[in-house]
A and B are shown apart, each in its own frame.
Chain A
Amino acid sequence: MAFLEVKGIFKDFGKTKVLKGIDFELEKGEVLAVIGSSGSGKTTFLRCLNFLETPDKGQIVVNGETLFDSSEPPYSDREKREKRLHFGLVFQSFNLFPQMNVLQNVSLAPKLHETSGRKLTKQEKGNVFKTIEDNAMQLIDMVGLADKAKNYPCQLSGGQQQRVAIARALALKPDILCFDEPTSALDPELTGEVLRVIRELKSSDRTMIVVTHEMNFARGVADKVIFMADGVIEEMGTPDEVFGNPKSEKTKGFLEKSLGD
């Protein structure tokens, strides 16, 4: 049984059918790159995994635990919150909390999770927060921003902000980390630093799903590539298969256009 199993995901927005049956599996520690033109449904698919959208049909299973099954009654907010923590999401536009510094951005959610519904003395709370902040600092250091921990997002470059966003997502120890076009909002000279962090994460055996327009990155880093078109998986395989020897005409056309210039 694979680490992540996605079965028959369908999603409509009104009359527009955005996802028309997405099926795939991913092993632990694998990196999946999802490519495809705008409107092919790749972002919607990622949002379904993170419970930002609810699929109309389908199943999502992580590590044997069914997180989503359309045949079950709708989940309560609480269930959703617990289930979505299996996934982390890094947004295209970072979405850092502007009024909080880097350390606060990374440690806010863990602090809320560790203290909600628990009666803690001031001392216990202090200890819990200390542990969380130490862990947050490690993550901030890992993305190379230890000296910026007290800075606010508006004082950081886009690339630095995205690295903070990655640390923030990692702070909740997700099973699978998702990236929604993590470098699309960045100046070209800043994409490298973000991609480098993602590469480092791969070497520490993190399971990741990266929706991206960076073809060279997808080819170099991914273990598996999915090409999406019109709401379906048009082609799936190793980078060498998809990039080197695409079978579908649509894939060929897309790659020609993407790599052509």
Chain B
Amino acid sequence: MGFWEVTKQLADGFSVTLLIFGVTLLCSLPLGLVITFGSMSKWKPLKWLTKTFVWIIRGTPLMLQIILIFYGPGLLFKMNALPRMTAVLIAFIINYSCYFSEIYRGGIESISKGQYEAGQVLGMTKSQIFFRIILFQVIKRIVPPMGNEIITLVKDTSLARVIAVAELVKAAENIVSMRSIIWPLFYVGAFYLAFSAVLTLVLGQVEKKMNYFN
């Protein structure tokens, strides 16, 4: 099997990887903020419920969560299994929302009380203060840790293969087992490297864009 053929098959796997990456990022970024509001809530039951949830999600392997979401409903409730891709996306979105929420929380808590008070004495509402004053400062502060998490997500997408979703690594494994050649498995590294290089550049640009204030 030639180089171009392998490349073409891996590219199919890579498009699945990109899909998992893109949808997870798109959904987790806002959902993470919702979870942050829960874990910072002044209403104790909500706060502790959210914190427990985040603890469970961060405290167990993502692989296990994918398996549970795919097989769990059938085993426990005799329900039909979700489509594989849907199960993967749900697991990833929940998992990454929780990680993002903790980064957001750290960012929000790092903003000085004086910023809130300045907004208050100017007669702004709580949501005006958050969305007009605080949020943008938080975004600036969380870009570096978010970059870390986003690059981890690139590689975590390979976990989708536990329920036989043909993402990049799974595509390579298929070639390896069918053709008895090992090199495509190493070749996937180049895809991940290229993708994370692009992300690193983009994230660097974002950081640079916000350098005009501290």
Please list the residues of chain A having a beta carbon within 8 angstroms of any beta carbon in chain B: 50-52, 77, 81-82, 84-85, 87-89, 91, 93, 95-99, 108-109, 112-113, 116, 152-154, 168-169, 172
State whether the Cβ of B133 lies closer than 8 Å to any Cβ in chain A: yes
Question: Shortest beta-carbon distance, A41 to chain B, in Å?
Answer: 18
Identify the interface centre among B114, B115, B121, B125: most chain A CB within 10 Å of its CB: B121
20 interchain pairs (CB within 8 A)? A52-B117, A81-B124, A81-B125, A82-B123, A84-B121, A85-B123, A91-B117, A93-B112, A93-B114, A95-B112, A95-B114, A95-B115, A98-B137, A99-B136, A108-B122, A108-B132, A109-B123, A113-B123, A116-B125, A116-B128
- The 5 A-B residue pairs whose C-beta atoms are closest, nearest first, are A109-B122, A95-B118, A95-B114, A98-B213, A89-B121
Chain B hits for A82, CB < 8 A: 123
Of all chain A residues, the one with the shortest Cβ separation from B116 is A95
Question: Shortest beta-carbon distance, B11 to chain A, in Å?
Answer: 41
Q: Identify B213's interface contact among A81, A95, A112, A154, CB under 8 A.
A: A154
Chain B hits for A87, CB < 8 A: 121
Question: Shortest beta-carbon distance, A184 to chain B, in Å?
Answer: 14
What's the Cα separation between A82 and B112 when bound, in Å? 24
Q: Which of B97-148 contact A (CB under 8 A)?
A: 112, 114-115, 117-118, 120-126, 128, 132-133, 136-137, 140
State whether the Cβ of B4 lies closer than 8 Å to any Cβ in chain A: no
Of all chain B residues, the one with the shortest Cβ separation from A110 is B122
Whether A84 touches B123, Cβ cut-off 8 Å, given contacts A97-B115, A97-B118, A98-B214, is: yes
Chain B hits for A153, CB < 8 A: 213
Whether A112 touches B124, Cβ cut-off 8 Å, given contacts A152-B212, A154-B214, is: yes
What's the Cα separation between A77 and B126 when bound, in Å? 9
**Contact flags (1/0) for B196-214 with A, using CB distance below 8 Å?**
0000000000000000111
What's the Cα separation between A81 and B125 when bound, in Å? 8
What's the Cα separation between A227 and B136 when bound, in Å? 41
Question: Shortest beta-carbon distance, A100 to chain B, in Å?
Answer: 8
Question: Shortest beta-carbon distance, B170 to chain A, in Å?
Answer: 44
Please list the residues of chain B having a beta carbon within 8 angstroms of any beta carbon in chain A: 112, 114-115, 117-118, 120-126, 128, 132-133, 136-137, 140, 212-214
Whether A152 touches B125, Cβ cut-off 8 Å, given contacts A93-B114, A97-B115, is: no
Of all chain A residues, the one with the shortest Cβ separation from B122 is A109
Identify the interface centre among A77, A85, A112: most chain B CB within 10 Å of its CB: A112
Chain A hits for B136, CB < 8 A: 99
What's the Cα separation between A152 and B117 when bound, in Å? 20
What's the Cα separation between A86 and B122 when bound, in Å? 10
Chain A hits for B124, CB < 8 A: 81, 109, 112
Chain B hits for A81, CB < 8 A: 123-125
Question: Shortest beta-carbon distance, B111 to chain A, in Å?
Answer: 10
Chain B hits for A98, CB < 8 A: 137, 213-214
Q: A82-B123, A91-B114 are in contact. List 8 more A-B contacts (CB 8 A).
A: A77-B126, A81-B124, A93-B112, A95-B112, A98-B137, A99-B136, A154-B213, A172-B122
Chain B hits for A97, CB < 8 A: 115, 118, 133
Instruction: Verify B213–A91 contact, CB threshold 8 A.
Output: no
Of all chain B residues, the one with the shortest Cβ separation from A98 is B213
What's the Cα separation between A109 and B133 when bound, in Å? 11
Of all chain A residues, the one with the shortest Cβ separation from B113 is A95
Of all chain B residues, the one with the shortest Cβ separation from A88 is B121
Question: Shortest beta-carbon distance, B123 to chain A, in Å?
Answer: 5
What's the Cα separation between A87 and B120 when bound, in Å? 11
Instruction: Verify A99–B123 contact, CB threshold 8 A.
Output: no
What's the Cα separation between A51 and B124 when bound, in Å? 13
Chain A hits for B118, CB < 8 A: 91, 95-97
Question: Shortest beta-carbon distance, A238 to chain B, in Å?
Answer: 29
Question: Shortest beta-carbon distance, B172 to chain A, in Å?
Answer: 45
Whether A172 touches B213, Cβ cut-off 8 Å, given contacts A91-B114, A99-B137, A108-B132, is: no
Instruction: Verify A95–B122 contact, CB threshold 8 A.
Output: no
Q: Identify B123's interface contact among A95, A96, A152, A172, CB under 8 A.
A: A172
Chain A hits for B112, CB < 8 A: 93, 95
Instruction: Verify B114–A84 contact, CB threshold 8 A.
Output: no
Identify the interface centre among A52, A87, A109: most chain B CB within 10 Å of its CB: A109
Instruction: Verify A52–B120 contact, CB threshold 8 A.
Output: yes
Question: Shortest beta-carbon distance, A112 to chain B, in Å?
Answer: 6
